[in-house]
Amino acid sequence: MSNVVVLDNGGGLMKAGLGGERDPTCVVPNCTARPLSSKKWLLADQLLSPTEDLTSATLRRPFDRGHLINPDLQSSLWAHLFTNLLKIHPPNSSLLLTEPLFTLPSIQRSVDEIIFEDFNFKALFVSDSPSLVHLYEASRRPYGTVSKAQCSLVVDCGFSFTHAAPVFQNFTLNYGVRRMDLGGKALTNYLKELVSYRSVNVMDESFIMDDVKEKLCFVSLDVQRDLKIARRPGNDNIFDCTYVLPDGITYMKGFVKDSNEANRYLALNDGAPSSAEEKQYLERRDVTDKPQERRNIDLTKTPDFRCLAWGSLLASSPDFEAMCVTKAEYEELGSARCRRRFFH
């Protein structure tokens, strides 16, 4: 078993596991919430339980607009993650932590204190999402363009912001990074307004609308074509699907009524639209709407893009330990000087 813990600590989700593993051991919300009917605050994986009713739950997050504002809450979430989910002993482990670009020095000091003084990790390496995404893509396609050119432009759309970052030879060029304060949280809030204005008030339903967004929304590769399809009435609109809200009695979580229906857009190609192509799809749709034949279609295979910045590959490299800052170096030199090792 690897003694390197990998933690992609995002504002919305924590992706955590051990170095060398292909996928994270757990992907859980980086927040705590208290249901209306309870005085207990639920953490991470507890929020994913199908028996917990999170309708209009009070929500607390350690991150706001991409910055760590509540180190104590983050520490308690990490404690639950390391102890109950990963079941690791920090003093015997090193940590690879993903941190947002341009994190303030005061926040960096707080993070270092939590890692070395509260959890007593033996070593730490801090990376950023764009460089890990570049490394993942170059390794996944060793003969591809990214691997040959050794440079890329990574657009990282996170929970609180979006970064456009140039990466060269696995290093993010900080002077070329541009940030836009628009991320998944803003899109969720916009969906809340749309649904509340047109249908039912969901302004307090962050978990429900996040689920709706993740299961039903997609990035269009042909905006004009998809807008045209979305405006069609009835069965001619292949984007039309049903999301069932929780009733608090039979089921506590919302769900898509027909998962295949929600993925029908994947049957359209990525090129220019053609009437013959759409006609062929609509004819095929009449067949696939039959439940017994729908099971044979699998349109849900594209990697989990939420985990592309999970640094298992880097953590399993033979040079990883030499790249880390040890606990002894932190105690001797302090946070500011140790952090220079990660600056480029």
For the residues 208-225, what does the mean pLDDT come to? 89
pLDDT tens digit sequence for 164-191: 999 998 889 989 999 998 899 999 999 9
For the residues 216-234, what does the mean pLDDT come to? 88
With a cut of 70, say whether residue 236 has pLDDT above it. yes
Q: How far is CA 107 from CA 63, 312, 343, in A?
A: 11, 24, 15
The two tokens of residue 168 are 């060269």
User: How far, in Å, CA of 322 to CA of 123, rounded?
Assistant: 10
For the residues 262-281, what does the mean pLDDT come to? 60
Burial of 21: CB neighbours in 10 Å, binned 0-12, 13-18, 19+ = middle
The one-letter amino acid at 286: D
DSSP SS3 for 5: strand
User: How far, in Å, CA of 77 to CA of 63, rounded?
Assistant: 12
pLDDT tens digit sequence for 285-339: 444 444 444 333 333 447 566 666 677 888 888 889 899 999 999 999 999 988 8
Residue 289: predicted pLDDT = 44
pLDDT tens digit sequence for 7-60: 999 999 999 999 888 889 999 999 999 998 888 999 999 999 888 889 889 999
Residues of the chain with pLDDT > 90, as a percent, come to: 45
The one-letter amino acid at 122: K
Residues 198, 191 contacting (CB under 8 angstroms) = no
pLDDT tens digit sequence for 119-171: 999 999 999 999 998 888 888 888 888 888 889 999 998 898 899 999 998 88
Q: Are strands 32-34 and 42-43 parallel, antiparallel or unpaired?
A: antiparallel
Of 98, 106, 118, nearest to 17 by C-alpha is 98
pLDDT tens digit sequence for 67-119: 899 999 999 999 999 999 999 999 999 999 999 998 999 999 999 999 999 99
Q: Are strands 123-127 and 94-98 parallel, antiparallel or unpaired?
A: parallel
| Band of residue 4 on the pLDDT scale cut at 50, 70, 90 | very high
